[in-house]
Chains A and B, each alone.
Chain A
Amino acid sequence: MRPAILADKLSKRFPRGQSGETFLALDELSFEVAAGHAVGIVGNNGAGKSTLLKILARILRPTSGRAVLDGRVGSLLEVGMGFHPELSGRENIFLAAAVLGMKQSEIERRLDAIIDFSGVGPFLDSPVKQYSSGMYMRLAFAVAAHVEPEILLVDEVLAVGDAQFQKKCLERMENLSRNGQTILFVSHSLQAVARLCRTALWIDRGKLRGQGPVAEVTAAYLKQGAANPGEQVWPDGSDAPGDDCARLRRVRVANASGQTAASINIAEPFTIDLDFAVTADDLVLFPSIRIFNEWGTEIIWSTDTGSPWHGKARPRGRHRCTINFPANWLNEGLMSVTAAVSSGFPARFHFNQADAVHFQATDVLGQKNARGDYPDSITSVMRPLLQWTIQVDS
């Protein structure tokens, strides 16, 4: 049987800057996807995932190589494509469905199902600018979910919307996949990839780095993800993340005894140091950090609210922040830290460095932590040690 998607030495070169420099986003990428399979694509930012999807969706043309797609191709690279705020919900259904490649008769046939799925019934004939963002998303996804080409290309659609919405999206895609649709799915959420796909491709700097069962590929990808364990230092100069106002100099994870650590015992407190250089006068800067778990879920966000420097203009010089984390709240796994400095009005990031450092949160047996003697895996995002009050009436 012919594969649903066949990519043969696909390359894509983009011009970069004015000087005629080029950048190779895809480098002779070859792979096959069998009909009826859902395949996830993982890889770092800039690895070429989106470029690949856009080439397969015929939005971009490859520089060389070829791809053959067997069947009608639909692409969901964004929820709400074609939506216009002034048009009513009903008009937007027709417009967005046509944008996604549906024919008039198909749209009319599925109209009731789409309206039903969206749950915006009573507001169907009001302009969508009056919708809440939740209603808007539901309607937009309802349209997208009823496009049923043989091959569906999906990019980060699930990155938007609340948890309930994301769950609904995933369920719908699982259904499509069970009905024999071929799905190519790019997402930063490894959790979503693992749930939807049985196989995965790992793309690294435009090349295929791994292909196989989803668990193996994501494990290999996560392992290389820990490229900056414990500490990362940026030498002075313009190569460090940042701009004319502030530049990142160092991010470090330290254990309870103050030593740089690539591995943290979740039953002990730890600190993260964020150092940055300020090179402009009188800016009110907001340093912040975020921690993501290995599934790409943001576990925590924090800024300097408790410090006397909060909301104050910063002098030039090196600013060293130490963020103290209590013991017993992380779950185990590979953690990634994003470090950022922004200024308030107008809000803008001076830098927003993803994957600044990585550390492994480990669960050391025999310690007083939330696990106790419970042996199975704990899949929750956090694992705080909570006080239980128990009353027994007999």
Chain B
Amino acid sequence: MPGVDVLDLVGAILIEQENALPLTVIEASRRGTLWTNATEYFEFATLLRHLTVRDLRLRFQNPLLGILWTILQPLLPAMIFAVVFARVLQPATGGVPYSLAALAGFVPWSFFSTSVSSAGMTFVWNANLLNKVYFPRGILPASAILASSVELATGAILLCGWSIWCGFPPCASWLLLPLLAGYIAAFAFFASLGLATANVLNRNVKFAVPFAMQLWIYASPVIYPSSFVTGRWRWLLGLNPLTAVLEGFRTAIYGAPLDSMLFLMSFCSAIVFATAAVILFRHFEDLIAERV
């Protein structure tokens, strides 16, 4: 390799070992690549763990009520829609009880909307901490999403139970559920990373979030399966990053036919949104403590 002196490399490694202590260099602009910044999160695993424990403790301070809220979160809206819209939407579900189709939509959706809405506030809520101690800032939304994952897990169990009740016995595709849950949790993390940054930059964002969520639920196949939307506007569902996971849940639970083109489009859309969120976050990361 021209231009790289092997001895220099060896020297650098030896110096590194001689000084066992880490050297912190502070400069005007951030050093290091996306990869080194990301690996820093592993050094703070203990903090992530205890922030998550804190959130769980507070949520389940009264265990019975905590579990009740967690179950009602997806169940209540699903049942309301089942009662009100069942007749209109039933034909689109292909013989599956509408309540099951709706619950399969609301379990991932209510996890996503509630966890992102609250994890998106973590920078603002923890302003004092951000101003008093250093840690990779993404730890805060990450711990909030991790704690909310309990909701997703309970929801998935509830969904399996409802499925059996409706006459769809356990099948191999249920094994896909953890994968889908991981996927939506990861997307929720990236979304809340971007939202939390936006909340610091502009205090009006938090007022817009509930409206955005209300519009988003109708723009996503939550209360209706994607097969409900046909014709020339169907591709719009593909732009929605949540379509893939919402449809994925239905396929995994009761074998709804999966539109692989739509799934792929939505998956790519999720990657684009997540990348945009990471770019936004990294651009303003160092200013969060100052602006919050």
Contacts and interface: CB of A to CB of B under 8 A. Distances in A.
A136 to B, nearest CB: 16
Interface string B126-147: 0011111111000000000000
B252 to A, nearest CB: 35
B26 A58 contact: yes
Given A59-B289, A94-B50, A78 B132 contact: yes
Size range of the interface on B? 35 or more
Contact of A77 (B49, B53, B132): B132
Given A78-B132, A86-B58, A99-B47, A150 B21 contact: yes
Interface string A91-132: 100110011111110010000000000000000000000000
B57 interface: yes
A59 B292 CA distance: 12
B27 interface: yes
Contacts of A56: 26
Given A61-B286, A81-B132, A86-B61, A95 B26 contact: no
B24 interface: yes
A98 B49 contact: yes
Contact of B133 (A62, A63, A70, A77): A77
Given A98-B49, A107-B46, A60 B290 contact: yes
A68 B21 CA distance: 12
Contact of B131 (A59, A73, A107): A59
B23 A61 contact: no
A29 interface: no
Nearest to A94: B50
A91 B21 contact: no
B28 A63 contact: yes
A103 B46 contact: yes
B202 interface: no
B129 A82 contact: yes
Nearest to B29: A61
A230 B67 CA distance: 68
Contact of B27 (A62, A91, A107): A62
Interface residues of A, number: 41
A58 B132 CA distance: 10
B286 A102 contact: no
Contact of B53 (A86, A91, A100): A91
A26 to B, nearest CB: 12
B61 to A, nearest CB: 7
Nearest to B55: A84
Contact of A72 (B22, B29, B46, B51): B22
Nearest to A57: B134
Given A86-B57, A95-B54, A98-B50, A61 B26 contact: yes
A4 to B, nearest CB: 9
Contacts of A70: 19, 21, 23
A55 B129 contact: no
B134 A58 contact: yes
B1 interface: no
B28 A60 contact: no
Given A59-B131, A99-B135, A67 B26 contact: yes
Contact of A58 (B24, B50, B53, B58): B24
Contacts of A103: 46
A71 B57 contact: no
A56 B24 CA distance: 9
Contacts of B131: 54, 59
Interface string A121-156: 000000000000000000000000000001000000
Interface in A35-82: 54-73, 75, 77-78, 81-82
A54 B26 CA distance: 11
Nearest to A84: B54
A20 to B, nearest CB: 15
A75 B289 CA distance: 15
Contacts of B51: 95, 98
A82 B125 CA distance: 12
B14 interface: no
Interface in B1-58: 19, 21-30, 44-47, 49-51, 53-54, 57-58
A75 B130 CA distance: 12
* Minimum-distance CB pairs A-B, first 10: A58-B134, A69-B24, A98-B47, A67-B26, A98-B50, A71-B21, A61-B286, A77-B132, A98-B46, A95-B50
Given A61-B287, A71-B21, A84-B58, 13 more contacts: A57-B133, A59-B130, A61-B26, A66-B28, A68-B24, A69-B24, A86-B58, A86-B61, A87-B57, A98-B50, A98-B51, A100-B133, A101-B44
